C-alpha cells in the first residue's frame, strides 16, 4: 500500500475518544474509510413523514413525525410521573413514553404541532406500538440553537437515516460523517478506467459524497449503482484469482478403475441411484480424472442422497490408490457417518480383517475424544495406507495426522467450515487433494456465486423414492396457550401409534451461559446486553424442558436428553437407543440438526423456534418424515404476531422447498450473516449490494473479473485494484492467493 491514506486514519483522531469507542464497539467502525462506507439505510424528505404504520417491532428506528398530543400522567398515588406523547404522520400514530426525572425537558419541548426526529426501539405496550425514552432532535424553528442548526443542516435536503444503535443516534452518525467527508477525495478507485468509463460510472469520491449528502434522488441512484458494482466486482476478482490459483496447482489424477471397490459396492446396492445421483457422480468422476484439484460444491436437500454420492467418489479414489477423508462438523455426526458408511459397505469396510472382502479397505473414525489406544491405531492405519477412508471432525486437521496418500477430502456442511481449515487439510496431501464440499442448505445461485465463487456447483434436487411429506405449524404459545397443550397431546399420539419424537431447545441449561449452535451464540449475546432486552427471558433449555415433560405432559413415556457437552459414549448410547426405538422422545439441542437419521421419528417440536435461523429450522425439520409415515413439525414461539420473527416462522411452515426458504431467509437477514467470515474468509464487505436483488450486477461483475484475471493474474497493470483487494482480504486469505 502506498503510504497511509487519510482513509486509514483511526476515527478517534477526528471524532474524539468517546464517539470513536461507541462506533468501534457497537457498529464495528474503526477508520475513516469504515465510516465512509457506513451508508445511510434510507432517506427522508423534509416535510414528508415516515409511515408510522410500517414500523418493525424490536428494532431500533428513526422516525420523523409531528407531535399530536402530550400529557403528564401520575401513578403510585401521585409519587410517579409519566409523560405520554402521541406522534402522527398522517398514516398512523405512535406513542412515546418518558418516566421520572426524564419528563421535564420533553414536556417543555414536545408541544403539539412540533416536528422532530425521534430514535428508539419499538416495543408493544397494551397492544400499541411505542418508543420508551426515545432520543429526539427538533426540526422546526425555535429559540434553541441546536434546533435551528438542525433546520439549517436539513432544510430542503434529503435526510440520511443511518443504521444506528442504542448508544448512537442516526443524526449523531450524520454529524460524524460530515467530519470525515472531506477525506472521500482520497478514496482509491479500484475500477480500471476503461471499465469505469465503458459502464458510465460516477468516480468513487463523487459516489461517496452523493450517497451521504445527496441533493436529489438521482444522486442516490448514481451513487448506489457505483458502490454496488465496486462491492460485487472486488469480491469477484478475489474469487476469480482464487480459482485461477487453484487451476495452477498440480493434483494426482484419480481415474476410475473397473472391477474394484466401487463396482463391488454398486453391485450390492439394494436400490438404483436416482438420475440426479448418476449425473452428479459423473461430474465428480470427470473432475477426479484431471491433473488439477477438483473444487466442487454439492448442494442437496436433506435426504437427497448426498452421502451416497460422496461415498462412491471416495471408493473411486481408493480404487485409484489414494485415500479419502470425510470431515464432519460435530463428533455426533462423524460417528454417525462412520456407522452408516460401514453399514452400507458391509464386508468391503473390513479390508485386512477376517471375513473381510479381499477388495475391501479399512474405514477408520478419528475424533478428539477417542481413547489414546484407538487413536494411535487410527493414526497408524492412515500413515501406512491400511485405511482407505477416514471419517472425523476437525481433529483430522491437527499436525499429528499424517496420510499415506491423501487423494480426496469431502467436507460435510460447508457453512460450519472456513477456508483456512480447508487449506490446512489440503496441505496433508503429497499434492493438493481433490475437494468435494457438501451442504444441505440450499443456496440461491447468486449466493453460491458470491460465497462459494471458488467452487464449481452440482445440485441434487430429486428426493429418493419413499420420503414422506412433513406438515408444519406455528404454535403461538403466548396468544394461545392451549395450542401448546395440544402440541404435547399430538406428540403422545405419535408415540401411541408406535412412532418417536424430537423436542429441540436452543440451550442446554445446566449453566446459564452455555449454548450450542447458532441459537447458542444468540443466547450468549442476549445475556451480555440485558438493558437492551430487559423483558426477554433466556432461551428454553433442554434439561429444564425434559424435566417438565417427564413430570407433566409426557409422564409415562421414555424421555431422554442429547446435547454437545455429554460424553461421546453417552451421546452414542442415547442415539443408539433412540434409533433402536427404546426411547420415545429425545429432547436435544441442535446437535441433531444435520445427519441424524431415525426413520421411525415422525414428530418434532421446536421450542423458542424464533431463536433459530430459517435454514436451521429447515435442517431440523428434515429429521422427521424420513420413513413411510408422514412427518409433523411444530414451531413453538412467544413472538408477537406482528413481529418479523413470526413472519419468518410462518414462511418456514408454509413451504418445504429449501431454495424458496433460503431466498426468504436472505431477504430477511440481509447478507451480513450469509457472507460471514466463517464462510468465505472475506470480511463481510457487502454494505450496498443485496445478493438477492442484484443478480445481474453480480453476474456481470463476475464476467469482467474473470476476463481481467485471465489477462493479468497478478493484477500488475492495476495497482489500485490490488490495493483495494489487499484491504478486503484478511491475511490468511491473501497469503493463500499469493501462494497461487
Question: For the segment 13-24, what is each residue's pLDDT rounded down to a tens digit?
Answer: 888 888 999 999
Residue with cell 478419528: 366
Which residue spans within 607-699 are E strands per DSSP?
631-637
Lowest-confidence region among 304-318, 581-595, 661-675: 661-675
pLDDT of residue 418: 59
Is the pLDDT score of 159 beyond 50? yes
Look at the chain and count its residues.
740
Which own/partner pairs from 514-520 qualify as long-range (CB within 8 Å, at least 24 positions apart)? 514/565, 515/539, 516/563, 516/564, 516/589, 516/590, 516/591, 517/589, 517/590, 517/591, 517/593, 517/616, 518/590, 518/612, 518/613, 518/616, 519/589, 519/590, 519/608, 519/611, 519/612, 519/616, 520/589, 520/590
- Residue 533 — pLDDT band, cuts 50, 70, 90? very low
Residue 299 · residue 276 · CB < 8 Å: no
Residue predicted with more confidence, 256 or 520: 256
Distance separating alpha carbons of residues 228 and 694, to the nearest angstrom: 8
Average confidence (pLDDT) over 305-316: 93
Task: Return the SS3 of 364.
Answer: strand
Average confidence (pLDDT) over 676-680: 35
Residue with cell 409426557: 554
Q: Is the dihedral of CA 570, 572, 575, 577 positive or negative?
A: negative
Residue predicted with more confidence, 426 or 161: 161
- What are 387-399's pLDDT values in tens digits? 999 999 888 887 7
Which own/partner pairs from 279-284 qualify as long-range (CB within 8 Å, at least 24 positions apart)? 280/309, 280/458, 280/459, 280/460, 281/309, 281/312, 281/313, 283/456, 283/458, 284/309, 284/313, 284/436, 284/458
Residue predicted with more confidence, 456 or 408: 408
In percent, how much of the chain has pLDDT > 90? Answer: 34
Lowest-confidence region among 146-155, 561-570, 584-593: 146-155
pLDDT of residue 2: 39
Average confidence (pLDDT) over 557-567: 90
Farthest-apart Cα atoms in the chain, separation:
95
- Residue 672 — pLDDT band, cuts 50, 70, 90? very low
Is the pLDDT score of 739 beyond 50? no
Residue 443 · residue 359 · CB < 8 Å: no
pLDDT of residue 211: 94
Distance separating alpha carbons of residues 607 and 594, to the nearest angstrom: 18
pLDDT of residue 504: 95
User: Using the 8-state DSSP alphabet, how is residue 440 labeled?
Assistant: S
User: Using the 8-state DSSP alphabet, how is residue 134 labeled?
Assistant: -
Residue predicted with more confidence, 672 or 411: 411
C-beta atoms surrounding 513 within 10 Å: 11
pLDDT of residue 336: 83
Is the pLDDT score of 550 beyond 90? yes
pTM of the predicted structure, to 2 decimals: 0.62
Is the pLDDT score of 530 beyond 80? no
How are the residues of the chain apportioned to helix, strand and coil, as percentages rounded to the nearest 5? 45, 20, 35
Q: Under the phi-then-psi rule, with left for phi > 0, alpha for psi from -120 to 50, and beta for the rest, what region is 99? A: beta
- Residue 167 — pLDDT band, cuts 50, 70, 90? confident
- Residue 359 — pLDDT band, cuts 50, 70, 90? confident
Q: Is the dihedral of CA 671, 183, 167, 67 positive or negative?
A: negative
Residue 691 · residue 668 · CB < 8 Å: no
User: Using the 8-state DSSP alphabet, how is residue 86 labeled?
Assistant: E
Is the pLDDT score of 684 beyond 80? no
Is the pLDDT score of 154 beyond 60? no
pLDDT of residue 155: 46
Phi, psi torsion values for 699, nearest 5 degrees: -65, -40
C-beta atoms surrounding 248 within 10 Å: 10
CA distance to 288, 328, 365, 615, per residue, from 345 (Å): 21, 19, 15, 31
For the chain, the average pLDDT equals: 81
Q: Rounded to 10 degrees, what is the CA torsion of 19, 23, 29, 30? A: 40
**All three cell numbers of 572:** 452414542
Is the pLDDT score of 676 beyond 50? no
Residue 226 · residue 194 · CB < 8 Å: no
- Residue 47 — pLDDT band, cuts 50, 70, 90? low
Average confidence (pLDDT) over 65-88: 88
Q: How far is CA 240 from the centre of its chain?
A: 23
**All three cell numbers of 706:** 474473470
In percent, how much of the chain has pLDDT > 70? Answer: 83
CA distance to 160, 264, 522, per residue, from 131 (Å): 21, 69, 24
Q: Could you tell me which of 502, 653, 615, 480 has the C-alpha nearest to residue 563?
A: 502
Residue predicted with more confidence, 129 or 3: 129
Distance separating alpha carbons of residues 320 and 317, to the nearest angstrom: 5
Residue 154 · residue 49 · CB < 8 Å: no
Residue predicted with more confidence, 157 or 670: 157
Q: Could you tell me which of 238, 285, 282 has the C-alpha nearest to residue 257?
A: 285
Lowest-confidence region among 205-214, 238-247, 341-350, 504-513: 504-513
- Residue 429 — pLDDT band, cuts 50, 70, 90? confident
Which own/partner pairs from 648-651 qualify as long-range (CB within 8 Å, at least 24 positions apart)? 648/610, 648/614, 649/474, 649/609, 649/610, 649/617, 650/474, 651/614
- Residue 488 — pLDDT band, cuts 50, 70, 90? very high
Distance separating alpha carbons of residues 292 and 362, to the nearest angstrom: 27
**All three cell numbers of 151:** 433546520
Which residue spans within 219-314 are E strands per DSSP?
295-300
Task: Return the SS3 of 544.
Answer: helix
Residue 336 · residue 343 · CB < 8 Å: no
Q: Could you tell me which of 293, 399, 389 has the C-alpha nearest to residue 334?
A: 389
Gyration radius (Cα) of the chain, Å: 29
Amino acid at each position: 500500500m502506498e503510504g497511509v491514506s487519510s482513509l486509514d486514519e483511526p476515527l478517534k483522531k477526528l471524532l474524539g475518544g468517546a464517539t470513536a469507542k461507541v462506533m468501534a464497539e457497537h457498529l464495528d467502525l474503526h477508520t475513516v474509510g469504515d465510516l465512509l462506507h457506513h451508508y445511510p439505510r434510507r432517506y427522508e424528505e423534509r416535510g414528508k413523514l415516515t409511515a408510522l404504520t410500517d414500523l418493525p417491532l424490536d428494532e431500533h428506528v428513526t422516525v420523523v413525525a409531528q407531535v399530536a398530543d402530550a400529557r403528564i400522567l401520575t401513578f403510585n398515588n401521585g409519587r410517579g410521573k409519566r409523560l405520554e406523547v402521541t406522534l402522527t404522520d398522517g398514516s398512523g400514530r405512535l406513542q412515546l413514553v418518558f418516566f421520572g426525572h426524564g419528563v421535564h425537558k420533553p414536556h417543555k419541548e414536545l408541544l403539539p404541532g412540533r416536528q422532530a426526529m425521534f430514535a428508539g426501539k419499538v416495543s408493544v405496550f397494551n397492544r400499541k406500538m411505542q418508543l420508551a425514552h426515545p432520543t429526539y432532535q427538533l426540526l422546526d424553528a425555535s429559540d434553541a440553537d441546536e434546533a435551528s442548526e438542525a433546520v439549517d443542516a436539513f432544510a430542503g435536503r434529503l435526510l440520511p437515516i443511518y443504521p444506528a444503535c442504542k448508544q448512537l443516534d442516526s443524526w449523531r452518525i450524520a454529524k460524524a460523517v460530515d467530519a470525515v467527508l472531506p477525506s472521500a477525495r482520497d478514496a482509491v478507485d479500484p475500477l480500471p478506467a476503461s471499465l469505469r468509463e465503458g459502464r458510465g460510472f460516477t468516480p468513487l469520491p463523487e459516489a461517496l459524497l452523493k450517497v451521504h449528502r445527496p441533493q436529489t434522488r438521482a444522486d442516490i441512484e448514481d451513487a448506489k449503482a457505483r458502490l454496488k458494482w465496486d462491492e460485487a466486482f472486488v469480491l469477484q476478482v478475489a474469487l476469480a484469482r482464487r480459482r485461477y490459483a487453484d487451476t495452477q496447482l498440480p493434483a494426482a489424477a484419480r481415474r476410475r478403475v473397473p472391477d474394484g471397490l466401487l463396482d463391488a459396492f454398486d453391485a450390492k446396492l439394494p436400490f438404483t441411484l436416482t438420475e440426479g445421483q448418476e449425473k452428479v457422480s459423473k461430474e465428480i468422476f470427470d473432475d477426479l480424472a484431471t491433473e488439477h484439484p477438483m473444487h466442487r460444491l454439492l448442494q442437496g436437500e436433506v435426504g437427497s442422497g448426498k452421502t451416497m454420492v460422496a461415498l462412491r467418489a471416495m471408493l473411486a479414489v481408493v480404487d485409484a490408490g489414494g485415500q479419502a477423508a470425510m470431515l464432519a462438523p460435530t463428533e455426533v455426526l462423524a460417528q454417525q457417518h462412520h456407522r452408516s458408511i460401514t453399514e452400507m459397505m458391509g464386508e468391503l469396510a473390513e479390508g485386512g480383517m477376517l471375513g473381510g472382502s479381499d477388495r475391501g479397505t479399512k474405514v477408520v473414525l478419528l475424533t478428539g475424544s477417542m481413547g489414546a489406544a484407538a487413536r494411535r491405531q487410527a493414526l497408524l492405519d492412515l500413515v501406512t495406507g491400511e485405511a482407505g477412508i477416514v471419517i472425523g471432525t476437525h481433529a483430522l486437521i491437527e499436525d499429528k495426522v499424517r496420510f499415506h496418500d491423501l487423494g480426496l477430502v469431502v467436507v460435510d456442511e460447508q457453512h460450519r467450515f472456513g477456508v483456512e481449515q480447508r487449506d490446512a487439510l489440503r496441505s496433508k496431501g503429497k499434492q493438493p487433494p481433490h475437494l468435494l464440499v457438501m451442504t444441505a442448505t440450499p443456496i440461491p445461485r447468486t449466493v453460491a456465486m458470491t460465497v462459494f465463487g471458488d467452487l464449481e456447483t452440482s445440485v441434487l434436487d430429486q428426493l429418493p423414492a419413499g420420503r414422506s411429506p412433513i406438515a408444519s405449524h406455528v404454535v403461538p404459545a403466548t396468544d394461545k396457550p392451549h395450542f401448546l397443550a395440544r402440541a404435547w397431546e399430538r406428540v403422545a399420539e405419535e408415540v401411541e401409534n408406535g412412532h418417536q419424537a424430537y423436542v429441540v431447545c436452543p440451550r442446554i441449561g445446566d449453566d446459564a451461559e452455555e449454548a450450542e449452535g447458532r441459537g447458542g451464540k444468540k443466547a450468549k449475546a442476549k445475556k451480555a446486553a440485558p438493558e437492551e432486552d430487559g423483558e426477554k427471558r433466556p432461551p428454553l433449555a433442554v434439561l429444564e424442558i425434559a424435566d417438565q415433560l417427564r413430570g407433566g405432559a409426557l409422564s409415562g413415556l421414555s424421555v431422554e436428553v442429547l446435547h454437545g457437552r455429554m460424553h461421546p459414549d453417552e451421546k452414542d448410547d442415547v442415539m443408539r437407543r433412540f434409533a433402536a426405538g427404546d426411547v420415545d422422545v429425545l429432547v436435544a439441542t441442535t446437535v441433531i440438526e444435520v445427519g441424524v437419521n431415525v426413520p421411525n421419528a415422525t414428530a418434532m417440536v421446536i421450542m423458542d423456534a424464533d431463536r433459530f435461523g430459517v435454514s436451521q429450522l429447515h435442517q431440523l425439520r428434515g429429521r422427521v418424515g424420513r420413513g413411510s409415515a408422514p412427518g409433523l413439525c411444530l414451531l413453538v414461539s412467544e413472538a408477537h404476531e406482528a413481529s418479523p420473527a413470526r413472519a419468518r416462522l410462518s414462511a418456514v411452515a408454509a413451504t418445504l422447498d429449501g431454495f424458496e426458504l433460503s431466498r426468504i431467509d436472505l431477504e430477511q437477514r440481509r447478507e451480513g450473516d450469509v457472507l460471514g467470515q466463517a464462510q468465505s474468509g472475506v470480511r463481510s464487505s457487502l454494505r450496498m449490494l443485496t445478493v438477492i436483488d442484484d443478480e445481474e450486477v453480480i453476474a456481470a461483475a463476475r464476467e469482467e473479473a474473470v476476463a481481467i484475471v485471465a489477462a493479468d493474474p497478478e493484477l500488475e497493470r492495476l495497482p489500485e485494484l490490488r490495493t483495494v483487494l489487499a484491504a478486503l482480504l484478511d491475511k490468511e486469505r491473501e497469503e493463500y492467493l499469493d501462494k497461487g
